[in-house]
């Protein structure tokens, strides 16, 4: 909860939030599903999601901030890529969820913080610029960062049985202050790319 409060404070401080849309399966919010809230949102809006299990496939083409009340807020779906931030998306975020799904990025300026990921595959394509993974817990699964231009920051995460792979020509990949438990990292760079790995626990 401490990390969630911190990330919400960061989003508010930098002015990403314009309107707040509430999702509540019990009917106490603006919408019953996350997908419906995304369809109604504008760039810069925050979508606050109340605890429940949301079995949805989310295609996000807007710069919205998805913020869970706590990690009893679950997104799950059995599909190739359940959560997709598509090309053109700017300043998107996913904060405080439990995610039992695959996720992909292709766009600009993402924050992924304070989530619990279970057995999912996460990928950032060559069209992704500047993504931050901070204070997440990964239980199994994989992360593949194949970014072509921007930077990636992978900080203060806990990894349990996860494979982190990077083969990029991005400006910089920083991997710091993470805890690797039965997890691996395989990082390489080309062109102007640089990989910095320090102060991690293996």
- H or E element in which residue 103 lies: strand 103-113
Q: How far apart are CA 61 and CA 40, in angstroms?
A: 12
pLDDT tens string 21-39: 999 999 999 999 999 999 9
Identify the sign of the CA torsion 126, 87, 123, 22.
Answer: positive
SS3 100: strand
pLDDT tens string 107-160: 788 899 999 999 889 988 777 778 899 999 999 999 988 776 778 889 999 999
Question: What does DSSP assign to residue 31?
Answer: B
pLDDT tens string 84-93: 887 566 788 9
Q: How far apart are CA 70 and CA 27, in angstroms?
A: 18
Q: How far apart are CA 164 and CA 182, in angstroms?
A: 12
Residues in a beta bridge with 4: none
Q: How far apart are CA 180 and CA 182, in angstroms?
A: 6
């Amino acid at each position: 909860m401490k990390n969630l409060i911190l990330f919400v404070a960061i989003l508010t401080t930098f002015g990403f939030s314009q309107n707040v849309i509430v999702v509540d399966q019990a009917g106490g919010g603006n919408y019953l599903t996350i997908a419906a809230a995304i369809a109604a949102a504008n760039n810069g809006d925050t979508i606050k999601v109340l605890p429940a299990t949301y079995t949805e496939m989310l295609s996000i083409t807007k710069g919205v901030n998805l913020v869970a009340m706590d990690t009893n807020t679950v997104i799950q779906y059995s599909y190739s890529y359940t959560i997709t931030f598509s090309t053109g998306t700017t300043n998107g975020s996913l904060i405080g969820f439990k995610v039992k799904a695959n996720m992909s990025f292709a766009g600009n300026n993402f924050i992924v913080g304070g989530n619990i990921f279970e057995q999912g595959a996460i990928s950032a394509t060559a069209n992704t610029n500047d993504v931050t993974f901070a204070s997440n817990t990964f239980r199994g699964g994989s992360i593949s960062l194949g970014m072509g231009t921007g930077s990636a920051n992978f900080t203060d995460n806990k990894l349990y049985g996860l494979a982190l792979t990077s083969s990029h020509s991005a400006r910089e990949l920083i991997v710091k202050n993470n805890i690797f438990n039965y997890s691996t990292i395989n990082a390489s760079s080309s062109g102007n790319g640089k990989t910095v790995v320090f102060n991690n626990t293996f």
